[in-house]
Structure 1
Amino acid sequence: MLIVDQNVLDDIGRGFSVPAQPKLLLSLLKLMAEPSPDVNAIADCISKDIAVSAAILKTVNSPLYGLSRTVTDIKMSVNYIGIYGVVMLVTGSLLKKSFDPKNCSIDLEIFWAMTTDISSAAIALGKQFKKNIPMDKLSSLGLFHACGIPVMAMKYQNYQDIADQALVTPGLSLIELEEKHYHANHATIGYYVASSWRLPKDVCQIILQHHERDYLDRLDGSVEQDLFAVLKLAEHIVSLKYLDCASPDWAYLEEAALAILAINQDQLAAIITQITESL
């Protein structure tokens, strides 16, 4: 496990406008911490936020979940995908509401469209190749893995230029370019956000390390490496869809990621097409 120096985290808290944990999420976590969580109380708590409730129902009723009947309320959602699954969907919805597009130097509509697709692609890959990973972890990792980017884009008006540079100079990762220009990076900031929002520790760790191109150099069969491999292939698929090019990290991780997922090169093109068409 990679440990972040507390001084670094303190600097992030002081130097960036990091979204605080929403009251709704705090209330849900308190309800979930009870010895026997009350499904009705949790559903009622979520239902008070009409926008979040609508987003949850839209997601749960999408082909992604493949439910046999239409879910019409939050309690039904909890019954179908579990308390933790619904809370992670709530968390993702609240994250999107936490940033003001007027004060951000990147196009948040495109950013959230891409991260939502990465989340959906990760779930689809997990269903096929890593059924041991809970869907809610794949969903939250997909939505939160790059959440440090809008935090940086709120502070730096030229952030889009740096992100564009990372696409044309794949020898340097986005993390390296961020450190060069800002002495900070979105992975560490994302870890700060995810930790403060109480995401699972293994998800927080992958967020912290998701641009480490040597992360899969020594395969150990861990769930963390499974999560990482799914995320990187999901990123690659979405990069092909939106940018018509491979994700910058993919060339460094492709062989190991495909080995973890037990996918060969002959299968890869078909999988990319299949998932892209489902997004």
Structure 2
Amino acid sequence: MNINELLAQKDKLPNVPEVVKELIQVLSDDNANLDAIANKVAKDPTLSVKILRMVNSSYYGLPRTVNSIDEAIVRIGFERLKILVISSGLSGSVTGEVEGLDIKRFWNESFETGEICKIIAKKTRSVEADVAFTAGIISNIGRLLLHLTTPNRAKAVQTMVDEGADRNQAELDRFQFTSPEAGAALLEQWKLPVELCVAVLQQRAPLNHAEPSPLAAVISMAKQMLAARKRGDSAKQIVDAVSLPLVSLAGVKEGLGDIAEQVVNLEPMKIA
């Protein structure tokens, strides 16, 4: 089996709205026509309803109900709405159950990774926070792809991991490629920015690549921190759990302790 065979199963791939892909493509473009994108979002009833439900959730604590995308932009600003559009579009890309994968837990952990990536990126000079947040959300898209297209092999990998195997090696044993490789190929098919594709590809070991990606280092750091957070580690323990070469590659010059404190106290927005 190869990655192209997975991607050929069009009916099983995540279905991400075109406006979401377009918004991801222009994340770093200061000249992007955001009004046009907002209009496209407003014309997508499913996406609009989900976004408005999130805007009106307790997470934002707005004093009164927001009833339109235009009003949402006024109330929370386009920068925050942009993240909501991406989050909503990605989490809604798969409907129903996914064999061998708790999809609600999958997306909530993905968004938690995104939140931590954003916290880290704000302490760097080379990685934009919105880009880092999006990279964190999509970092595990390859794992989702494997469960959607080859559930039996994906479940076998999970069993091996649960028994103590290294996930990277387990995937190579079962697929001859890894989920980050599959995820990067899917993102390329969606025509997302090269920066995101490379970061997803390199995320498990960015320092092993000839041209290591700072964004990949941010993802890798975020996952180390998330694992420590799940263990109930303190901020100091989270700092100790992070690879210093990754910190250097990500471009975090100072404030690692502050990042860890924010990770400990993080209350991520639950999308799924």
User: In the alignment, which residue of structure 2 is the partner of 1:240?
Assistant: 228
Q: 1:177-227, CA deviations, whole angstroms, 9 ceiling, x for partnerless residues?
A: 112023342112211222223322111111112122xx226898x7x22x1
Backbone CA RMSD of aligned residues: 4.2
Q: Choose from 259, 264, 272 the match for 1:276.
A: 264
Residue ranges of structure 1 left out of the alignment (5+ in a row): 1-6
Counterparts of 1:1-279 in structure 2, within 5 Å, are 9-14=3-8, 17-25=12-20, 38-53=33-48, 55-56=50-51, 72=66, 73-75=68-70, 80-82=77-79, 86=81, 89-127=84-122, 129-154=123-148, 155-157=150-152, 159-160=154-155, 162-163=157-158, 165-166=160-161, 169=164, 172=166, 174-212=167-205, 215-216=206-207, 224-225=213-214, 227-242=215-230, 254-259=243-248, 260-262=251-253, 268=257, 271-279=259-267
Contact 1:21 1:196 in 2 (8 A): no
3-state SS in 1 of match to 2:152: coil
Amino acid of the structure 2 residue aligned with 1:203: L
Higher relative contact order, structure no. (Cα contacts within 8 Å, ≥ 6 residues apart): 2
Residue ranges of structure 2 left out of the alignment (5+ in a row): 234-238, 268-272
* Residue identity (%): 17
Amino acid of the structure 2 residue aligned with 1:112: W
Contact 1:152 1:159 in 2 (8 A): yes
Query: How many pairs align?
Result: 252
With the length of structure 2 as denominator, give the TM-score of the two structures.
Answer: 0.71
Amino acid of the structure 1 residue aligned with 2:182: I
Tell me: CA distance 1:175–1:30, structure 2 relative to 1, closer, same or farther (3 Å).
closer
3-state SS in 1 of match to 2:40: helix
Tell me: CA distance 1:15–1:201, structure 2 relative to 1, closer, same or farther (3 Å).
same
3-state SS in 2 of match to 1:216: helix
CA distance in 1, matches of 2:3, 2:155: 24
With the length of structure 1 as denominator, give the TM-score of the two structures.
Answer: 0.70
Contact 1:39 1:75 in 2 (8 A): no
Moved more, 90-99 or 158-167: 158-167
Q: 1:119-163, CA deviations, whole angstroms, 9 ceiling, x for partnerless residues?
A: 011111212x11442222112101101111112112223634523
Amino acid of the structure 1 residue aligned with 2:85: V
How far does residue 56 in structure 1 lie from its aligned partner after superposition?
Answer: 4.2
Tell me: CA distance 1:18–1:62, structure 2 relative to 1, closer, same or farther (3 Å).
same
CA distance in 1, matches of 2:46, 2:207: 39
